[in-house]
Chains A and B, each alone.
Chain A
């Protein structure tokens, strides 16, 4: 066996070997979202020490709803960043989708499910247009989406009216961000996640075993599923605590509805990127577009689809934004795109394409939200807040640039 020529699959060795391999990969620059995760823990500890309100259930629930819009936008942008492209229009696309949602319901009496479909379809259409201009006409995405950023702001003004404000009153839409789920739903959600994770992991292990391939040590699966269980249980029980200002009048406890929505988007997007041909082609085009083309991948089609996905996520972000504010104004979504790009990059998605995951965007979204929320609680001027967010983004982009240079020259 030892002098037989065997080629490994990276699944050999014990639990400890796997740990050592992971450390070696991190040292080699494949850090993923690890720095963001560590940063998140440090920031949370600092803010908790500075102001005890930071750790109150009400603040944590606020943090989740604050970050949901930016995180959804950032997940969509991750697809675009994986190609090495950018979408500066994602925020205004969200704003325009929110406006269409609100107007179709209030002015035309459209039922809310149809209005949701209209909002997401508008996003998809915008993505298609951007994608065609980038992939077929060949205009750099920076320029196309900058033009769209300006033009859609104008369109938003026309649609909503100057200084206008369109209210949202459909209870299901308002509930997404403002009403928590019943207590039991949080636990059911966690149980579903746990069963799905362990089930799919065991299924793929059995498939590998039947085709005679090695599996990663069982310890890794146990470790990961226990982490999901413990962290998840912590989240759910914390969010199930009473957080109403006056519980006798209005009780406020439970996981917000937006949490399962974001988790479903995360799971669906991750599945597409990791398990489908299309997802593989996205990484290939982002890694080396010429190699992808020579391998027979239709690069421009991949690009168009990616912009459509990204802008559809923006449409969903628009719905979340409208739900949280219970209204849509003429400037909706104008400022959030830079936070969303920052979230993705801080989380570990590369600006150079080909490297990053949707979960990175979620973690990055938390970092950006924690900075915003924590500095607000400390009472720092908002100017400083922006400067610090900018600094964090620059730090993450520097790390990204160094990692990318290292992997190119090695």
Chain B
């Protein structure tokens, strides 16, 4: 298949919580320009896998290759320095601040401590425009006044603003209505088309099939399937998730 080096490649990653093996020799790779979906039932190890990539909960064993080079991900700092960003399910936005403030939170542009509001406003508006966001009217709105979909858009745009190479989306559509889900999925697609590696975690197979290029399935801590969307079906994936079917992972 694709000969280019994956942005991230995990080899034989393990993680135990006491006697419980949460990740068992997991292999996982993510390519630039693709949406990679990570699916699995509750407790399959999806969150643990992601927390390892985010540096929040380092893996016990295994190799992590970033653009072909072995790296360590022991702290959130290390992974954000590499350009890995997680957009969490609970969004982590400050309701009392506006969109510009939220997109630059913790990384404000300033001259000797004094904020450069103009530069931040332009960059925030440019980023939203580059993602063809049409749902957000003004970048100076308070986040509290935004709908769920708009908030998700701001959270994703923040990840884009910082030129991250890998954007991990944790259940981005879980709390959204039909129309808003559609908008966010389109945004996810555009994100990948712009050359970023996108990982999406979702319970909703319809969403996964709408947007993903490649689907990885975790079952009780094991990676039981790694398939291209074009080469599989929803029924097969349901089989992998429930453990009724397995595929030899050899990619």
Contact = CB atoms under 8 A, between A and B. Distances in A.
Nearest to B144: A407
A288 interface: yes
A211 B125 CA distance: 13
Interface string B92-105: 11111100010001
A277 B115 contact: yes
Contact of A275 (B97, B115, B119): B115
Contacts of A410: 144-145
A277 B113 contact: yes
Contacts of A227: none
A287 B95 contact: yes
B144 A280 contact: no
Given A280-B101, A284-B105, A410-B145, A7 B92 contact: no
Contacts of B115: 275-277, 280
Nearest to A207: B118
A7 B129 contact: yes
A354 B105 contact: no
A354 B114 contact: no
Given A10-B141, A278-B113, A295-B106, A287 B92 contact: no
Interface residues of B, number: 39
Interface stretch (B13-21, B32-40, B132-140, B185-193): B132-140
Interface string A260-279: 00000000000000011110
B121 interface: yes
Nearest to B143: A287
A30 B113 CA distance: 28
Contact of B92 (A204, A295, A408): A295
Nearest to A278: B113
B94 A291 contact: yes
A224 interface: no
A294 B140 contact: no
B140 A10 contact: yes
A408 to B, nearest CB: 7
A291 B97 CA distance: 12
A9 B96 contact: no
B97 A283 contact: yes
Interface in B135-168: 136-142, 144-145
Contacts of A7: 125, 128-129, 133, 136-139
Given A291-B94, A296-B107, A213 B138 contact: no
A375 interface: no
Contacts of B140: 8-11
7 closest A-B pairs by CB: A295-B106, A10-B140, A287-B96, A287-B94, A354-B96, A296-B106, A291-B92
Interface of A: 5-11, 28, 30, 204, 207-208, 211-213, 275-278, 280-281, 283-284, 286-288, 290-292, 294-297, 354-355, 407-408, 410
